[in-house]
Structure 1
Amino acid sequence: MIPGAWHGGWSWAPVAQRLRSAGHSAISVTLPGLGEGEKPHGHRLSDAADHIVQLIKDRDLTDVVLVGRGWGGYPINGAAGRLTGRLVGVVYWSAQIPVPGRSLVDDNPPESAAMLHQMIDSSPTRSIVPMLQFVEQISMQDSAPETQRLEPVC
């Protein structure tokens, strides 16, 4: 299970626990740069896809279902084509599905894409900083304000 942007494997912990209780295997993945104490900048999408592929190969996993949430749709898409014979499915759960030749930013409505480009341009690391403005306007715009402000539970 691959989390969305700014999240680690902890975000899948409740789901992983339920799957294990039902007799399934479940691995909730923290991608490079998103672990505790790690620097998030300097990583590329290919690093995330490589991490997924390497984890599956290192553990010699087969009959794998990749599940991506939000931005996690991008790295699972990048990993899936390199895991022939090991996958039985790919699930985009409330995830962005990559369109060849288009960026995640540009797959947003024009006003959201403009806001994201402005956030990237004003960041010293050219990244999108997880701000409440982003949550309110793009990530969880249909959610109640109290839900938008929930803190992660580990």
Structure 2
Amino acid sequence: MTNFVLVAGAWLGAWAWDEVAADLRSAGHGVHPLTLSGLAKKRGVPAPGQRTHVEDIVAEVERLDLRDVVLVGHSYAGVPVGQAAVLIGDRLRRVVLVDANAAVDGDSFLSGWPSDEVRAAIEAHEGFWPPVPADDFAGQDLTDEQIARILDGATPHPGATLTQPAVMSRPLSEVPGTYIKCLLDGEEPWGAAAELLKSDRWTLVTMDTGHWPMFSRPHELARVLRESVTAP
């Protein structure tokens, strides 16, 4: 049985995967949505760093003794998921990055894109990145109700997890993976994700939706995740 470990991006917790998880379970898969330290029901002090989020993922896989694991990382979560993927060894079946940043040794989530505004927000909010306002979700294939659901559940994101560098013992390109590009958030993967797709172990899939497909197109996303299991 394939075990999907689902990790959402900034501000979100395991609850973001509710509809996707239900679809995957109905297809007979093991599904394990994960809330990272410092977010949602795991809010608290001290605030975690990047390594804590990697350890959250690895610990969950080991605690449940999961095998045949598909690690799924959305947006920010691509960075800790990529690091976890090279640490769990033969437990891993595949990595799936959902419109996500790809982990590169020595780079942080904020590396490679204009991030001065994010860094300023973290400094102004005692080390946390506050959720963006509703207007920032416009044009992403989300209904008003879906935007409200995201913002109602969102919690400030621990800033250190965004600024601290990834530590990779080997490149992510060496493990099998699928990159899901959400076209309303840019037509092509960029930066480290584009480099990753040069590997013959990685496959590109596109979705005609915005950056939060677990809300805008949960059933389509679940189908893509199911199909990723049989990708070459």
TM-score interval, normalised by the smaller of the two chains? 0.7 to 0.9
Contact 2:83–2:103 under 8 Å retained in 1: no
Of 64, 68, 71, 1:63 maps to 68
Alignment correspondent of 2:25: 20
> What is residue 129 of structure 1 aligned with on the other side?
130
Deviations along 1:98-139, whole A, 9 cap, x unmatched?
23333222322x3xx121122122222x22111318x72xxx
> How far off its partner does 1:38 sit?
2.3
SS in 1 for 2:31: coil
Paired AA for residue 123 in structure 1: H
C-alpha spacing 1:107/1:144, structure 2 compared with 1 (3 Å)? same
Q: Are residues 59 and 46 of structure 1, via their aligned partners in 2, closer, same or farther at CA, if it must alter by over 3 Å?
A: same
For residues 37-80 of structure 1, the C-alpha deviation after alignment (integer angstroms, 9 at most, x for no partner) is 62276101111110111111111111000000011101101211
Paired AA for residue 143 in structure 1: Q
Distance in 2 separating the partners of 1:106 and 1:6: 19
Contact 1:120–1:127 under 8 Å retained in 2: yes
Q: Are 2:127 and 1:94 aligned?
A: no
- Percent identity over paired residues: 30
| Matching residue of 2:217 | none
2:7 paired residue among 2, 6, 20: 2
Give the Cα–Cα distance (whole angstroms) in 1 for the partners of residues 14 and 31 of structure 2: 11
Structure-2 separation of matches of 1:42 and 1:7: 15
4+ residue runs over 6 A deviation: none
CA displacement at 1:92 relative to structure 2:
0.3
Which one of 41, 47, 50 corresponds to residue 45 of structure 1?
50
- Following superposition, the deviation at residue 21 of structure 1 comes to 0.5
Q: TM-score, normalised by structure 1?
A: 0.82
**Long gaps (5+) in structure 1:** none
What CA RMSD, in Å, does the superposition of the two structures yield over aligned residues?
2.5
Structure 2 equivalent of residue 81 of structure 1: 86
- State the TM-score, normalizing by the size of structure 2: 0.56
| Alignment match, 1:150 | 148
Going by fraction, where is strand more abundant, 1 or 2? 2
Q: CA deviation at 1:88?
A: 0.6
Distance in 1 (alpha carbons) for counterparts of 2:98 and 2:26: 21
1:11 maps to what in 2?
16
